[in-house]
Amino acid sequence: MEVKEKLLTKVKMPFCPGCGHGANTRSITKAFENLGYGTKDVTMVSDIGCTGLVDPLFACHTIHGLHGRSPALGVGVALGLNRSDKKVVVLQGDGGATIGLQHILEAARRNIDMTLVVYNNLLFGMTGGQMSGLSTNDFKDFKQSADDADPYDIVNLAHQAGAAFSVRVTDLKRYTEVLEEAIETPGFSLVELASLCTSYGMKKVAEFKEFVEAEEKLINKRPVGITPERNTKSLLDGMQGLTTQFTANIENRMGIVIAGSAGGGVQSAAVMLAQAGMLAGLYTTMKGEYPITVGTGFSVAEVILSKEPINYTGLEKPNTMLIVTEDGWHKVKDRIADNSLVMMDDKIKEEHTFLSKPFFKVAGKKGAALSAVSYWIKESGIFPIEALEKVIANHKYASALQDAIASSDKL
């Protein structure tokens, strides 16, 4: 097949110097290019861990999931596509592979048409070099680990579960050709690639090979697993929609970023803003972002309000930015556009002159974000504040939420 497009972007590799993940990633994209796949032909699915940093490196479709759950997401995509000219590839580290082992076995048992690539550096690299379920006994002895349980053999497990193709490779020179064979194999294929962790493991590939052995490919000749199509009711049929009750004052489309700290109600404030927009007859989208640790650090949400259907949910140049904590400010300050309206809490230390209000003081940690949203709604006149009040009317914390909305009158 003729090479169509480059699947690797020009984004700098996010890995530590000498990390094997970079070479593995290049081998994967090279294999697809050799086979003639283009950027719209491939979907890459990743999860948490060092391997999960790969998303910006690919020019194709990418999906990022929870730790260990990427094979389950990949199964859903593969079954939904049901096209032999497209390919779903799941990427996991050895930590993710053992955390979500059942998802791998299910994909193998059903022989779903997808490829799983396990970047095995024999440890949890992102959290300090702890042993994983794929750490070999020799490596654990080398690291003086107290874990004396035998490791999983992910290659044999996948084969016994029914994978069409499974193999472990330690020779970097063979990575691309083996990946090509796996990708071209109909059904579920698993390729375990040795990957150096120079921070917590070994410095050289030759040293790595002392602790893990390559394995001949294992083949199961089986039909590709499919799910028969069924005519069922939509999951949306039983849901009660929001009907227009208010009038919006917006010309076309507006993007709002809400930034704060974990536990500060940023995500819920964004959801309520989006729902209020629906009550005002607008199309809306909402997306949230927070770190792997979930309960600490920043919390950022994006809301788009539009009079027209929203076909692209990206928010590259926000019209409005509501920032209530230092965590949120440090996360989004580089996203300020020339025409962005920026409102921030008066406790945030910043040299630039933005509209500053005591959101935190009048509404507290859990109400500051909603107070900022309420203030912006009233000042912008985008729709009546009653739309937001209507959204929270039947909420179990309606009283506290109403107080946060009312606090904006004090600003």
Q: Which residues of 25-47 are buried (b: 16+ CB within 10 A; e: fewer)?
A: bbbbbbbbbebebeeebbbbbbb
Among 69, 28, 29, 27, smallest CA distance to 48 is for: 69
Q: What is the pLDDT of residues 319-331, one digit of tens each?
A: 999 999 999 999 9
Among 23, 216, 31, smallest CA distance to 115 is for: 31
Nearby residues of 223 by Cβ (< 8 Å), 6 or more positions away: 111, 187
Mean pLDDT of 25-37: 94
User: What are the angstrom distances between the C-alpha of 199 and each of 10, 149, 263?
Assistant: 25, 24, 33
Q: What's the confidence (pLDDT) of residue 1? A: 47
What CA–CA distance (Å, rounded) separates 300 from 288? Answer: 6
DSSP secondary structure letters along 196-241 = --TTTS-SSHHHHTTT---EEEEE---PPP---------TTTTSPP
SS3 255: strand
| Pair 236, 299: CB distance under 8 Å | no
Q: Kindly list the strands in the beta sheet with 61-64, ordered across the sheet, starting from the edge strand earlier in the chain.
A: 61-64, 42-46, 87-93, 114-120, 188-194, 165-169, 215-219
Name the token pair of 230: 């069924």
Name the token pair of 344: 């921030």
What CA–CA distance (Å, rounded) separates 126 from 322? Answer: 32
Q: Which one-letter DSSP state was computed for residue 93?
A: E
Lookup result for tokens 């299910």: 106
Instruction: Please state the φ and ψ torsions of residue 58, each to the nearest 5 degrees.
Output: -105, 140
What CA–CA distance (Å, rounded) separates 119 from 92? Answer: 6
Query: Residue 296: pLDDT above 90?
Result: no
| Pair 179, 97: CB distance under 8 Å | no
SS3 61: strand
Name the token pair of 301: 């949400």
Q: What is the pTM of this model?
A: 0.69
- Which residues are registered as beta bridge partners of 130? 124
Query: Residue 3: pLDDT above 80?
Result: no
Q: What's the confidence (pLDDT) of residue 389? A: 97
Q: What is the pLDDT of residues 206-258, one digit of tens each?
A: 888 888 888 889 999 999 998 877 888 888 887 777 889 999 999 899 999 99
Lookup result for tokens 């209020």: 276
Q: What's the confidence (pLDDT) of residue 294? A: 65
Query: Residue 52: pLDDT above 70?
Result: yes
Q: What is the enclosing helix (H) or strand (E) of 321?
A: strand 320-323
| Pair 335, 318: CB distance under 8 Å | yes
Domains of the chain (ranges plus CATH)? 20-219 (3.40.50.970), 253-410 (3.40.920.10)
| Pair 91, 51: CB distance under 8 Å | yes
* pLDDT averaged over every residue in the chain: 92
Distinct helix (H) and strand (E) counts, the chain: 13, 15
- Which residues are registered as beta bridge partners of 91? 117
What CA–CA distance (Å, rounded) separates 110 from 366? Answer: 46
What CA–CA distance (Å, rounded) separates 254 from 366? Answer: 25
Q: What is the pLDDT of residues 59-99, one digit of tens each?
A: 999 999 988 999 999 999 999 988 889 999 999 999 999 99
Nearby residues of 179 by Cβ (< 8 Å), 6 or more positions away: 27, 28, 31, 115, 117, 191
pLDDT-derived band of residue 383, with 50, 70 and 90 as boundaries? very high
| Pair 183, 2: CB distance under 8 Å | no
Pairing between strand 123-124 and 130-131?
A: antiparallel
Query: Residue 32: pLDDT above 80?
Result: yes
Q: What is the pLDDT of residues 108-135, one digit of tens each?
A: 999 999 999 999 999 998 888 899 999 9
